[in-house]
Amino acid sequence: MSPSVRLQEMIRVIRGARTQGEERGVIQRECAAIRAQFRQADNGTRSHNLAKLLYVHMLGYPAHFGQMECVRLIASPRYNEKRVGYLGAMMLLDEKQDASLLITNSIKNDLSHSSQYVQSLALCTLACMGSAEMCRDLAPEIDRLLRASNSYIKKKAALCAVHMVRKVPELGELFTPAARSLLSEKNHGVLHGAVVLITELCERNPDTLEQFRKAVPELVLMMKGLVMSGYSPEHNVAGISDPFLQVRILRLLRILGRNNDTASDAMNDLLAQVATNTDSSKTAGSAVLYETVLTVMDIKSESGLRVLAVNILGRFLLNNDRNIRYISMTSLQKIVQTDHNAVQRHRGTIVDCLKDQDASVKRRALELSLALVSAVNIRSLMKELLLFLSSCPPELRAHTTSGIFNAAERYAPSQRWHIDTILHVLTTAGGDVRDETVPNLIQLITTATELHCYTVHKLYRALITDISVQSLVQVACWCIGEYGDLLLRGECEETEPVQVTEDDVLDALETVLQSHMSSPATRGFALTATMKLSTRITHNVDRIRSIVSIYGSCIDVELQQRAVEYNALFKKYDHMRAAVLERMPVIDKSSPGHTNGESAGGTIKELEPTKLTQEIVFPQEPSNQVCDLLDLLGGSGEPFQPSPSLSSTAPGPASSTAGGDLLDLLGGLDVTPAPPSVTVYEKNGVTLKLQTDTQTDTGMTVTLTATNSTDGDITGLTLQAAVPKSVQLQMKAPSGDVIPAHGLGQVTQTVLLNNPNKVSLKIRVRVCYTSQSSVCQDTVQIDSFPSTAW
C-alpha cells in the first residue's frame, strides 16, 4: 500500500500544533487550499483533498463545502475516487441535505457496476443514508441483487433491504419472497443478513409473521447445526460457533414463538439444549445464554424450561463479572411480575448487590429490590433499603425515597413502623423526597391516633437535633402545634418522655422561625404551630402573642398575612380562638388527582383534565371548570340541582341555557326493569337504543345501537359519552359510521362501564351525524339503565 503522504503530512502538522489557536490557523489554511483545489478542474488530487477535509471534519470543524465534491467524486469512474466520495457522502451528507438527492443516480448506476466492490460501496452508502424516496426508487434493484448475485453482494443487499424496510415499511412485501429463499444459503454472512431481514419483516407485519412461522423447523435445524458443530476457525469465538448468528436466530425464534403454542413447542428442545450445552465462562457464551433466557421467558415455553431459565439467571447473579450480574438483574426485572416467586428465591443475592461498588449494578439492584417487596419480607428488606439509602449515590436518592415510601404504604405491618420508617427516611435523605411526602405523613399521623404522643416526642427530639431538613421540620412543627399538650404532659407509653417546659417548646419553634435555613413554607408551619399552642399551653400565652405581633410586620407576605390574622384572632375574636385552633379532625386520605377529598359535605370538586376525548368526568356540582373537550354543559347553566348524593332520581328536564346543547329528550324514561333495550334518543329519523349486555357487581357492558328510518343515509356518526366521576368508561370502536337508509342497517358501539364505588350510574351521550347534508348534534342523558339498579 502506498502511504497517504500528503494527508498524513497534514495530520502530523495539525497534531503538532501546540495551542488551539495554532491548530485553528493551520486548519483554516488547509481548508482554504482545499476549497481552491475543489474549484479547479480535475487534477487527480481531488480524492486526497476530500480525505483531508474529512479529517478536519472529524476534529469538529465545518466541512459543508465538501458536499458537492463528494457528489462529483462519486460520479467519477475511478475506484479510489469513488471510495473516498462515498465515504464523504456517509460522513457529510444525510437525507436532510439537498445534495443527497444528487447521488441517487450514481448509486443506481453503481448498483449494476461490473465490479462487486463498486456495487458494495453503493449498497453501503444506501444503507447508511438512503432517504425514503431513494429507497422506493432503488428497491427493485435491491430485490434483484438479493436473488442473483454472489454471497458478498447478497449479504450487503440483505442489510440494505433491512434499512429500506425500516424507512418505508410497505417495501416489506417486496422483499418477503427473496428473504425466504435466502434461508437456504450456506454463507454465514448471508444467513445473518437474512435472519435480520426476516426479523424486521415479521416485526412490522403480522401476516408476514404468520408466514414465517412455517420456517421455524428450518431455523431450529440451523441453530442445532451451529451448536453441535465442531471447531470452525473462521467463526469460532471462545468455543462458541458464530455467536452473532446464534443470537440473531434466537431473537427471531422469540418473535415467531410469542403467543403461539405450536411454534413454541417446536423450539422447546432446542432451547433446552442450548441452555444446557453452552459454555458460559466467556462473554460469547453468556451472550448466547442470555438471549436464550430472554426467548424462553417470552414464548409459551413449558414450566420446566422456565425454571431452567430462571436458574441460569440466578447463576449469573453469582458471577464475578459485573456485566453479567447487571444483565441478570435486567432480565429478572422483566420477569419479576410474572414469575415473582422464582425471583424471590434470589432476593438475598440481589440485596447484596445493593452494596456493589458499581453505580449501574446498584441501580439495577435497587429497582429489583423495590419490585420484590412483599408483605412477608417488608421488615427485613426495608432495613436493607434504609441502609442503602444512607450510602447511596446522589442520583439514586430521589428514586430510592419514593420507592421506600410506596413500599411502606403498601405493606406497612403497623402504623408505628410506618411512621418510624418515614421519619428515618426524612432524617437520612429529607432533601430528596417528593413534595407530597409532608401532607402524606401528616395525614398518616392524624390517623394513627394512639401514636400521637409517641410521634410528637420523636419529632420533637428530631427537631432539636437538626433543623436543616425542611420536610422533617415542617412535619415536626405541625405535630408540635397539634399535639403540644401531649408533649408537655411529660408521659408517654411508647417511648421515653421528654421533660420539657413550655418555654423549651416555644424556643424550638422560634429557632425554626428565625433560622435562615428555614424556607418560607417551613416558617409558615412554625408560625401556625406557635399559634395553635396558645390554646394548648397555659402559662406563656403572652409570649405567643408577642411573637405573633412581631411577625405582623414581616417582609414575607405570607407570614405577615398569617401573623396579622392570628393577631386579630387574639384581639377581636378571642372568644373563637379555642374553637378555631382545636384539634384537627382526621383527614381523609384523598386519592391522587383530586385536590379535595371526597368529603360528605358536597364541596366543589375540580375536574381532572383528561386526555381521552371519549372519557370525561362531569361535575356533581355547578362548576365552571368544565373540561372543554366535549363542552357538554355549554359553559353555563347546570341542569342538576346541587346535591351531593346522586341516588336521588334525576331532576326534571333541564332548561337549556345560552349555548346549551342539552336536548333532554328522555322525557318519561322511567326505570323499567325487564326490557333488554331502551330507546334513548329519537329525532330526525335517527334512533339510538341502549341495551345492557352483561352486568357484574361493579361493572356493566352496554351496547348502543343506531338505526335510521329516513330516506337518506346518515353519515359521519359519532357517539361520545361522559359518566360520573368515580365511574370508568371505555368505548370500543363502533361498527361503522354510516347508517343506511330505510332502516336497512345499523351501527353498534359497545361501551364498558366500571363502577367500583357503586354510585348511581348516569351516562350522558352526545350524538353527532350528518343527515341530508346538514350536521346535527344532540346530547341525551341516561339516568337509569334497563336492568336492575345497583
% helix, strand, coil for the chain, step of 5: 55, 10, 35
Task: Draw the binding track, 584-623, toward other proteins (x: CB under 8 A; -: no contact).
Answer: ----------------------------------------
Shortest approach of other proteins to residue 162 CB, angstroms? Answer: 6
Q: Applying CB under 8 A, which of residues 344, 360, 402, 511 lies at the interface with other proteins?
A: 360
From candidates 198, 327, 506, 533, binder to other proteins by CB under 8 A: 327
User: For 619, which DSSP code?
Assistant: -
Q: Which of residues 375-414 bind other proteins (CB under 8 A)?
A: none
Q: Shortest distance, CB of residue 489 to other proteins, whole angstroms?
A: 53
Q: Does residue 681 touch other proteins according to CB under 8 A?
A: no
**Taking CB under 8 A as the rule, does residue 281 contact other proteins?**
no
Question: What is the smallest separation between the CB atom of 150 and other proteins, expressed in angstroms?
Answer: 12
Per the CB < 8 A criterion, the answer to whether 252 and 219 are in contact is yes
Q: What type of residue sits at position 626?
A: V
Task: State yes or no: residue 11 binds other proteins (CB under 8 A).
Answer: yes
* Residue 52: CB atoms within 10 Å: 26
Q: Which stretch binds other proteins (CB under 8 A): 242-250, 385-393, 631-639, 712-720?
A: 242-250
Residue 555: burial class (beta carbons within 10 Å; 0-12, 13-18, 19+)? exposed
Phi, then psi, of 675 in degrees rounded to 5 = -60, 140
Min CB(324)–other proteins separation in Å: 8
Q: Give every CB contact of residue 119 below 8 A, 6+ residues apart in sequence.
A: 110, 111, 112, 113, 145, 149, 153, 156
Of 99-118, binders to other proteins (CB under 8 A) are: 115, 117
The residue from 13, 17, 99, 124 that contacts other proteins (CB under 8 A) is: 124
Separation of alpha carbons 188 and 244, rounded Å: 10
Q: Which is nearer to other proteins, 50 or 408 (CB)?
A: 50
30 binds other proteins (CB under 8 A): no
Closest CA to 127 of 181, 196, 191, 207: 196
451: phi then psi, degrees, rounded to nearest 5: -100, 10
- Minimum CB separation from other proteins for residue 410, in Å? 26
The residue among 157 and 408 lying less far from other proteins, judged by its C-beta, is 157
Instruction: Compute the least distance from the CB of residue 676 to other proteins, in Å.
Output: 48
284 binds other proteins (CB under 8 A): yes
Can residue 509 be called a binding residue for other proteins (CB under 8 A)? no
> CA–CA separation, 59 vs 54, rounded Å?
9
Q: Is 351 helix (H, G, I), strand (E, B) or coil?
A: helix
Which residue is it, cell 330526525? 684
Q: Binding to other proteins (CB under 8 A): which residues in 48-67?
A: 48, 51-52, 54-55, 58-60
The nearest distance, CB 431 to other proteins, in angstroms, is 23
In the complex with other proteins, the residue whose CB is nearer, 318 or 375, is: 318
Beta carbons of 670 and 784 less than 8 angstroms apart: yes
Among 110, 143, 242, 482, binds other proteins (CB under 8 A): 242
> Exactly one of 39, 96, 186, 516 binds other proteins (CB under 8 A); which one?
96
Q: Quick count: other Cβ atoms within 10 Å of Cβ 142?
A: 25
Supply the DSSP symbol for 646: T
Cβ neighbors of 11 (< 8 A, separation 6 or more) are 55
Cα–Cα distance for residue pair 251/255, rounded to 1 Å? 7
- Interaction between residue 283 and other proteins (CB under 8 A): yes
Residues pairing with 679 in the sheet: 689
Smallest distance from other proteins to CB 282, Å: 9
Q: Cβ-count burial of 679 within 10 angstroms (0-12 exposed, 13-18 middle, 19+ buried)?
A: middle
To the nearest whole angstrom, how small is the minimum distance from the Cβ of residue 714 to other proteins?
45
Separation between Cα atoms, residue 380 and residue 680, nearest integer Å:
58
Among 70, 73, 127, 688, binds other proteins (CB under 8 A): 127
State in angstroms the smallest separation of the CB of 635 from other proteins. Answer: 42
Task: Name the minimum Å distance from CB 279 to other proteins.
Answer: 14
Closest to other proteins by CB, 322 vs 725, is 322
- Please name the residues in contact with 532: beta carbons below 8 A apart, sequence gap of 6 or more: 481, 482, 484, 581
* Least distance from other proteins to the Cβ atom of residue 432, Å: 20
Nearer to other proteins by C-beta: 162 or 453?
162
Which of 506, 509, 408, 417 has its CA nearest to residue 454? 417
Of 391 and 672, CB closest to other proteins: 391
If one asks whether residue 300 binds other proteins (CB under 8 A), the answer comes out as: no
Which listed range, 152-160, 340-348, 536-544, 629-637, lies at the site for other proteins (CB under 8 A)? 152-160
Our CB check for other proteins shows the closer of 89 and 442 to be 89
Of the pair 72, 78, the CB lying nearest other proteins is at: 78
How far is it, in rounded angstroms, from Cα 496 to Cα 655? 66
Does residue 160 bind other proteins (CB under 8 A)?
yes
Residue 143 engages other proteins in binding (rule: CB under 8 A) = no
Dig out the grid coordinates for 612 from the structure: 381521552
Which of 70, 74, 153, 155 contacts other proteins by CB under 8 A?
155
Whether 205 and 198 have beta carbons less than 8 Å apart is answered as no
Q: Taking CB under 8 A as the criterion, which residues in 69-88 touch other proteins?
A: 78-80, 83-84, 87
DSSP state of 739: B
C-beta of 202: minimal distance to other proteins in Å? 13
Interface with other proteins, residue 41, by CB under 8 A:
no
Strand order in the sheet with 616-617: 616-617, 714-723, 763-771, 774-782
291 binds other proteins (CB under 8 A): yes
The reply to whether 505 sits near other proteins by the rule CB under 8 A is no
Contact between 453 and 483 under an 8 Å Cβ cutoff? The reply is yes
Query: Per-residue contact track with other proteins, 162 to 201, x per CB under 8 A?
Result: xx------------------------xx--xx--x-----
Nearest-approach distance from CB 23 to other proteins, in angstroms: 11
With contact defined as beta carbons under 8 Å apart, do 513 and 527 qualify?
yes
The one among 103, 122, 247, 476 contacting other proteins by CB under 8 A: 247
CB of 102 or CB of 680, closer to other proteins: 102
- Asked if 213 interacts with other proteins (CB under 8 A), we say no
Q: How far is the CB of 1 from other proteins (least distance, A)?
A: 6
- Shortest distance, position 107 Cβ to other proteins, whole Å: 15
207: CB partners within 8 A, 6+ apart: none
**Inter-CA distances, 775 with 7, 160, 767, Å:** 72, 50, 11
Three-point CA angle 511, 515, 516, nearest 5°: 180
Burial of 10 (0-12, 13-18, 19+ CB in 10 A): buried
Largest interatomic CA distance in the chain: 105
How crowded is residue 602: how many other Cβ atoms within 10 Å of its Cβ? 12
Whether 677 and 705 have beta carbons less than 8 Å apart is answered as: yes
132 binds other proteins (CB under 8 A): no
Total of residues contacting other proteins (CB under 8 A):
77
Whole-number minimum distance, CB 215 to other proteins, in Å? 19
The piece of 94-102, 342-350, 486-494, 692-700 that touches other proteins (CB under 8 A) is 94-102
Could you say whether residue 19 binds other proteins (CB under 8 A)? no
Instruction: Determine the interface stretch with other proteins among 360-368, 430-438, 560-568, 755-763 (rule: CB under 8 A).
Output: 360-368
Report CA torsion sign: 7, 10, 14, 15: positive
